[in-house]
Amino acid sequence: MYLFLNVQILYKVWTILIPHCAPIQFDVTFFFFPHPFLLFILAAMDCDDRTRDELSELSVPRDAVADAQDAALGPCPPMCGNGNTLGCILESIGENVIDPVVAERTCQQVLESLMQKQDVADNVCGSLEGQDEVPDGSLPTSASAVGESSKECKVHSSRGLQIVTTWTLAKCDRAGDGIKRDKELLNLEGLPRRIPANSSASKQSLLLRLFESKLFDVSMAISYLHNSKEPGVQAYLGNRLFSFPPDTVDFYLPQLLTMYLHGPEEAGDAIKPYLVHRCRHGPDFALRCAWLLGAYSADGPAVSSRQRHSRGTKLRRLILADELAPTAGSSADQQNANSGFGRARSKAVIGLIPPSLPCPGTVLSAISPSKRTHQRSKSDATSCVSQAGVLRRSSSNPKVEMQSEEGQGSWRPESSRAVQCLLQQVEPSDDGQGGSVEPDRRTVRLAPEREFLKSLMAIGKRLASLPTKEQKTQRLVAELSLLNLTLPARIWLPTAAFPHHIVRLPYTQAVVLNSKDKAPYLIYVEVLECEDMEHSPVPARIPESRIRNTRSEENLLEEFSITSEHRAGSFTMVPNIDPDEDAWAQDDIADLQVEQPEIHKSDKSTNSSDTISQFSVDSITSLDSKAEPVYFLAGDIRRRLSEQLNVPATQFRRDPEDPSAAALKEPWKEKVQRIRESSPYGHFPNWRLLSVIVKCGDDLRQELLAYQVLTQLQAIWEQERVPLWLKPYKILVTSADSGMIEPIVNAVSIHQVKKQSQLSLLNFFLQEHGHYNTEAFLCARRNFVQSCAAYCLVCYLLQVKDRHNGNILLDQEGHIIHIDFGFILSSSPRNLGFETSAFKLTQEFVDVMGGQDSDMFLYYKLLMLQGLIAARKHMERVVQIVEIMQQGSQLPCFHGASTIRQLKERFHMSLTEEQLQMLIDQMVEGSMRSLTTRLYDGFQYITNGIM
C-alpha cells in the first residue's frame, strides 16, 4: 500500500505539470510566450523522451540504439502529441528566443515551489545549469536532478546537458548482453540521463527496492505498468521485462498489447522495445503479436483516438511486412552506423513508417518475382541449367511458372497460394549467395505460417456453407488432403509448447465439431520436433503411400528422402549436375534392368515381399507344424469375436450426425499410435501428434481472457497447495473473428456421454471405471470432485453462463472440464433469466460425488472454501488481468460500467472465513436446488437437442 501511495504521489506531481503543457506549447509555437518555465517543461519532456529511449537502449541492443538516437535527434516526443511541430519549434527557439539564464532561474523556482507544495521534496539537490547556446544547434536543455538515497549527484554540463542519478541506471539485473551494454553506457559520459522529475527519493528507493527484489515478478510488473502513470517507472518496467523469462511474459501478452494499444502513451512506448525485440527473435511471437494487435484494434476506433489506433496498426503492419526479421534489423543497423540516410531508414523500420517512404512497398515488390518460383524443383533446375550453360528451358521457365500460379489460382485460390508459399518455404534459401534471395528469406519467415492459417480459415468458411455434417466432413477431408500436398513446410502450430515443423495432416482423422451455423473443426497435425523453428531444416517430403511396413524398409526410406530432396535432378534433362542424384538414378535403372521381366514391380518389390513374409509368418505361427493338421473349435472363434467386440466398449459408435464424438472418445494414446503407424513420418523419433480446433467466425478474445484467468487461478491454487484441478486450454486469437483452440484430449462432452451411453452420469462412471470400491472409481470420483469444485468457483467468480451439458466435458480420469467461455462476467445469453444460480450443480453431479451426505460432498465444499480463500488472497493477480483487458474493449463481457467492481465483490474481501463458509454452503444449496439450471438444461434439450 505504501508503495502504491508513492506511485500515486508521483502521479500527482506529473498531473500538475501536464495541464500546463498543452497551452504553453501552443504559445511557444507562435512565439507569443517564451516563458522560461516552458523551456523547462520542454526540456524535461525532451529529456524524458531521451531517458526512455536510453532505458530501452540499455537492454535493447544494437537496433534500439539506433532507435534511440533517432528519437533524440529526430522529432519524436510522442508525449506532446504531434512530434513534428515540436521538433521544429525547438530548433528555432533554441537559438533565438530564449534567454538561458532566465530559463534556468525560472525553472528552479518553479521546481522548488512545486516541490514544497507537494511536500515531498525532502531531498533534492537539483541544480539547474545554465546553458550556453549550443553550437551545433541541438536543443538547449536543463534538467532537474534528484538525488538518490546515496545523495550522489552528478552534474554534467558537457554539451549543455543533463544530470543523472544512478537511479535510472538501475542495477537492475538483466539477462545476457544487456548487462554489458549497461556498463558501457554507464561509462559514456555526456549521454543523457535523467530521473523522473520530482519524486521522493526515499520512497522512490522503496519502489526501486521492490522492483529489484527477488519477489518482483511479471504479474507485478504488469500491474505497475498499468497503474503507474510515471514515465520513468514505466520506462524502467519496460526494460525490466527483458529480464523475465520469455514464457512468463508471453502469458501477459494480451495485457501488454492492450496497454500498448489503448493504454497511456508512455506505457505503450515503454513496452514497445520489448515487443520489437521479441518479434525480432521469434516468428511465433511476432505473429501472435500481429494477430492480437489486429484483434484488439478491431473494435478500437470507437474508443481510442485515431492516433493510438494507428499505432497498433502500424506495429502490426510492421510485423506482417516482416520488417522485424533479424537479417533486416542487422542490415538496417549497419546502414544506420554509416550514413544519415541509414537513420532515416531504420527509423522507418522501427518507428513509425510514414506512408510516403517506399520501404515496405519496395521490399514487397522485390519479393514478388522470387515468390513466383514456387516449385523448388523447377527453380533449381533452371539455375542448374543456366549454370551449365546448356540451352534448356532456363529462359522460358519463369513464365511457365507464372502461368501455373495463375492456373492454380483459378483452381483454388487460397490453397494454391499456400502451396506456393509453403513450397517455396520448403526450400531453405540455402543457395543464397545472390542478393535476390535476401528479401525472399525475410518474407518467408512469416508468410508460410500466415498462408497456412489463412487457408485453414478459408476451409472453415467454405464448410459453413454446406448443409449436412456428412458433407462437411467429406469436404473437410478433401480440402485437407489438398493442403497436405504442400507439406512439410516451415509452419507450426502456435498452440504447441515446443518448436516443431508440421509435416503432415492426417486428413482422414479430421472431424467437424458440433455447431449450428459455424463450422469449427478439429484437425490432427503431425509434427517433427526440432531445435529451432527458424533455422532447423525442414524435413523432406515423404510421399503419402510410402507407409513403413517393417524396419527393413528404414534404409529405403532414407534413400527416398534423399531423392525427394534432390528431386530437381529428375526434372532437369541435363545430366551430371548433381552427381549424387545421377548415381542414384542410374542405380535405380540398373536395378530395374536386372529384374527385367518385372520392371514394374521393382518399386513395389520390397513392399510385396514384406507383406508376403508377414503373411507366411502369420500362418506359420498359427500352423504349429505343417505336417499335422491343426484343429480348432468353432466355438473359440465365436468366443474370441464376441470378446474382442466387448472389450472396446469404451468406444463410441460412429454417428454421422456427430462425427466428433467417436473421434474424441478414442483414447489419445491409441490415436497417436494408430496415426503414427499409418504415417510415412511415423518412424522419426521426434515425431509428435498435435491437434487443434480451428474456429472461424467466432470471437475468441473472451476465451483467451478466460484462459488467462483460469491459468492464474490454477497457479494460485498450486501455490497455496489447494488440490483444485483446472484444465485451461490454450487459445490462439488470429483475428476478431477467428482463432484456434487447443483441444482437450481424452474428453467428451457430458451431452455426448449421455447420448451415446444412454446412462446417467453415475452409471457411466461405474461403467468406465469399475465398481464403487475399486481404486479406479474412487480415483475418478476424487478427480471429479476436485475439478467440479474448481470449476464451480470459476463459474461463480467469472459468472460463466450458458452452462449446458454440451459445454461441460468429462475426461478419461473423471475430471470435468468446462469449455466455451462465450458468456462471462457481464454478458449472458439472451434468454429468459435462466441460470440465476451461482454455478451449475445438478443432482447428477452430486450423485457422482456420492450424495449430499457423503464425505466426498463435504470434501467438495471444503475445497471450494479453501479455493476461495486462496483466490481471495491473490485477488489482485486475477482482477488485474481482467481490468487491463477492459481498456478499449468492446467485448460483451465488459458490458456495463461495474464489471470490475462486481468481480472484486465476488471475492468477498470483507468476509471472515466463517462467513465465507456460510456463503459457500448457501451457494451450493442454492445451485443444487436451482430450478433455473434444470430449466436451462430442458431449454437446451428442446432447442438444440443437448441432453
Partner 1 sequence: MAQPEKKSGLLRKSSGSKKVFKEKVVLMYDEIFKTEDPVQNNVRFWEELFLLKVNLEYLEAKLESLVGDQLMQMKDNINSLFHHCVLTLREDHQIRVVNALQTLCGLLRGVHQKNMPNTGFDIINILMGFDNAEEEMKSLMVSLDSLLCGDGSLSLKGLCLKLLLCLITVTGNISQNTILEYIMINSIFEAIIQILSTPQIQQHLGYDAVVLLALLVNYRKYESANPYIVKLSILDDEMALNGTGLVLSRTLCEYNRHYKSKEEEAQGGIFSTITNIVGNMFIGEAEEKLSPRTNESLLLALYEAVHLNRNFIAVLAHSHPEMEPATPPQSPSSPNTPTNSQLDGNLPTSDALVSTELPLDPNTQTSNLLITFLKYCSIVMQDTKDEHRLNSAKLCLIILTCIAEDQYANSFLHDDNMTFRVHLHRMPMRHRKKVVDKNVPSRPLACAVLDLMVEFMMTHMMKDFPMELYLRCVAIVQKLICYQKKCRVRLHYTWQELWAALISVLKFLLSHETVLLGKHNIFPLALQVVNLFNMFITYGDTFLPTPGSYDELYYEIIRMHQAFDNLYSMVLRHSTNNGQWKDPASKVTQALVNIRAIVNHFNPKIESFAAVNHISQLSEEQVLSVVRCNYDTLTLKLQDSLDHYERYTEQPREASFFTQLVRSISADVRRTLSLGTLSQEVLLKEFSTIA
669-698 binders of partner 1 (CB under 8 A): 678
Rule CB under 8 A: say whether 601 interacts with partner 1: yes
Which one of the spans 446-454, 638-646, 887-895, 900-908 is the region binding partner 1 (CB under 8 A)?
A: 638-646
Restricted to residues 928-947, the positions that interact with partner 1 (CB under 8 A) are: none
Rule CB under 8 A: say whether 630 interacts with partner 1: yes
Q: 193-206 burial, b if ≥16 CB within 10 A, otherwise e?
A: bbbbbbbbbebbbe
Rule CB under 8 A: say whether 555 interacts with partner 1: no
The nearest distance, CB 819 to partner 1, in angstroms, is 23
Q: From residue 914, give the alpha-carbon distance in Å to each of 107, 256, 866, 869.
A: 58, 38, 12, 11
State which residue, 262 or 504, has the beta carbon closest to partner 1.
504
Rule CB under 8 A: say whether 561 interacts with partner 1: no
d(CA 19, CA 26): 12
d(CA 890, CA 892): 6
Rule CB under 8 A: say whether 721 interacts with partner 1: no
Rule CB under 8 A: say whether 474 interacts with partner 1: yes
The nearest distance, CB 626 to partner 1, in angstroms, is 7
Q: From residue 877, give the alpha-carbon distance in Å to each of 369, 884, 904.
A: 50, 11, 11
Axis-axis angle for helices 413-426, 469-484 (nearest 10): 30
The only residue of 200, 572, 712, 812 in contact with partner 1, by rule CB under 8 A: 572
Can you read off the three cell numbers belonging to residue 298? Answer: 478491431
d(CA 43, CA 134): 14
Rule CB under 8 A: say whether 337 interacts with partner 1: no
State which residue, 584 or 777, has the beta carbon closest to partner 1.
584
The nearest distance, CB 137 to partner 1, in angstroms, is 59
Q: Which amino acid is located at 449 in the chain?
A: E
The nearest distance, CB 749 to partner 1, in angstroms, is 20
The nearest distance, CB 431 to partner 1, in angstroms, is 20
The only residue of 62, 317, 462, 861 in contact with partner 1, by rule CB under 8 A: 462
Q: Which helix (H) or strand (E) holds 527?
A: strand 521-529
Rule CB under 8 A: say whether 475 interacts with partner 1: yes
The only residue of 396, 673, 719, 922 in contact with partner 1, by rule CB under 8 A: 396
State which residue, 357 or 466, has the beta carbon closest to partner 1.
466
- DSSP for 587-598? HHHHHHHHTGGG
d(CA 223, CA 364): 39
The only residue of 51, 336, 383, 397 in contact with partner 1, by rule CB under 8 A: 397
State which residue, 431 or 470, has the beta carbon closest to partner 1.
470
Residues facing residue 164 across a β-bridge: 154
Cβ distance 112 to 121 under 8 Å? yes
As a dihedral over the C-alpha atoms of residue 882, residue 886, residue 890, residue 893, rounded to 10 degrees, the angle is: 30
State which residue, 127 or 408, has the beta carbon closest to partner 1.
408
The nearest distance, CB 649 to partner 1, in angstroms, is 13
The only residue of 5, 637, 649, 918 in contact with partner 1, by rule CB under 8 A: 637
The nearest distance, CB 53 to partner 1, in angstroms, is 50
d(CA 374, CA 947): 51
Rule CB under 8 A: say whether 565 interacts with partner 1: no
The nearest distance, CB 625 to partner 1, in angstroms, is 11
Can you read off the three cell numbers belonging to residue 130? Answer: 545554465
Rule CB under 8 A: say whether 612 interacts with partner 1: yes
The nearest distance, CB 869 to partner 1, in angstroms, is 48
The nearest distance, CB 376 to partner 1, in angstroms, is 11
Pairing mode, strands 687-696 and 747-749: unpaired
Q: 393-404 burial, b if ≥16 CB within 10 A, otherwise e?
A: ebeebeeebeeb
Rule CB under 8 A: say whether 619 interacts with partner 1: yes
State which residue, 337 or 573, has the beta carbon closest to partner 1.
573
- Please choose, from the candidates 386, 453, 682, the residue with its C-alpha nearest in 3D space to the C-alpha of residue 546: 682
State which residue, 497 or 620, has the beta carbon closest to partner 1.
620
d(CA 940, CA 944): 5
- Please choose, from the candidates 199, 234, 46, the residue with its C-alpha nearest in 3D space to the C-alpha of residue 118: 199
Q: Which helix (H) or strand (E) holds 400?
A: helix 397-411
The only residue of 19, 355, 435, 629 in contact with partner 1, by rule CB under 8 A: 629
Q: Which helix (H) or strand (E) holds 880?
A: helix 875-886
φ and ψ of 926, to 5 deg: -60, -45
The only residue of 18, 22, 88, 478 in contact with partner 1, by rule CB under 8 A: 478
The only residue of 1, 302, 627, 634 in contact with partner 1, by rule CB under 8 A: 634
The only residue of 26, 31, 33, 615 in contact with partner 1, by rule CB under 8 A: 615
State which residue, 435 or 467, has the beta carbon closest to partner 1.
467
Which one of the spans 110-118, 438-446, 463-471, 702-710 is the region binding partner 1 (CB under 8 A)?
A: 463-471
- Quick note: the x/- pattern for partner 1 over 359-378, rule CB under 8 A, is ----------------x-x-
The nearest distance, CB 642 to partner 1, in angstroms, is 4
Restricted to residues 506-525, the positions that interact with partner 1 (CB under 8 A) are: 508-511
- Quick note: the x/- pattern for partner 1 over 525-554, rule CB under 8 A, is ----------------x-xxxxx-x-----
Rule CB under 8 A: say whether 471 interacts with partner 1: yes
d(CA 572, CA 582): 11
Q: 624-659 burial, b if ≥16 CB within 10 A, otherwise e?
A: eeeeeeeeeeeeeeeeeeeeeeeeeeeebeeeeebb
Three-class secondary structure assignment of 245-299: CHHHHHHCHHHHHHHHHHCCHHHHHHHHHHHHHHHHHCHHHHHHHHHHHHHHCCC
The nearest distance, CB 663 to partner 1, in angstroms, is 8
Rule CB under 8 A: say whether 123 interacts with partner 1: no
Which one of the spans 343-351, 405-413, 434-442, 730-738 is the region binding partner 1 (CB under 8 A)?
A: 405-413
d(CA 669, CA 746): 9
Burial of 155 per CB tally in 10 Å (0-12, 13-18, 19+): middle
- Quick note: the x/- pattern for partner 1 over 419-458, rule CB under 8 A, is ----------------------------------------
